[in-house]
Chains A and B, each alone.
Chain A
Amino acid sequence: AQSVTQLGSHVSVSEGALVLLRCNYSSSVPPYLFWYVQYPNQGLQLLLKYTTGATLVKGINGFEAEFKKSETSFHLTKPSAHMSDAAEYFCAVSPNDYKLSFGAGTTVTVRA
């Protein structure tokens, strides 16, 4: 079985500051890992994904995430927050089957 833990249900950052969203997973096999973003009243949009190969993954909107197997982590970062980054972010894991297991989500607010 696999599960996803997102540390911090709410994160508040200043515009221009680093955004760091933490995600740890448990999986019995090397997983596929994803970050999704959900803007208000919209569906989820894929930000980035890790499948195989390079452990530093770059996604849309300047976000990136690093897969660290030894730490079972897949933290999401963006060097400089923008007001448009205010949204809810979900980490998800899929250990080689069709189902994704999602974390509880982290809401990001950006202060001007």
Chain B
Amino acid sequence: GAGVSQSPSNKVTEKGKDVELRCDPISGHTALYWYRQRLGQGLEFLIYFQGNSAPDKSGLPSDRFSAERTGESVSTLTIQRTQQEDSAVYLCASSGGPPNYGYTFGSGTRLTVV
């Protein structure tokens, strides 16, 4: 597609429920990233995909967080048993090459856990 698409744009969920966040990267971009942005804070790295494998998942905060990517395209970030501290904007980005290409970000999913 023309840009990185994320869905849903907003999600309100009850504490303890599971949520799935979706990211459609730019077609042909092999690298895909998830970041978390808490209110008033910078971006926290969560996970990096190269193709369908995740060579760096060091930023996932706990085992309640998981992500997968299929077909070198769509990625899903799943948060199980959500907690209030999971409330944040989850941003996805994709890149077509080395870091000097820069990232293209999606508009994010705003997750609110009540």
Contact = CB atoms under 8 A, between A and B. Distances in A.
A34 B102 contact: yes
Contacts of B111: none
B48 A51 contact: no
Chain A, interface SS category: loop
B42 A104 contact: yes
A31 to B, nearest CB: 9
Contact of A45 (B31, B43, B105): B105
Chain B, interface SS category: strand
Given A98-B31, A98-B50, A46 B42 contact: no
Interface residues of A, number: 24
Nearest to B6: A43
Interface string A68-112: 000000000000000000000010001011111111110000000
B25 interface: no
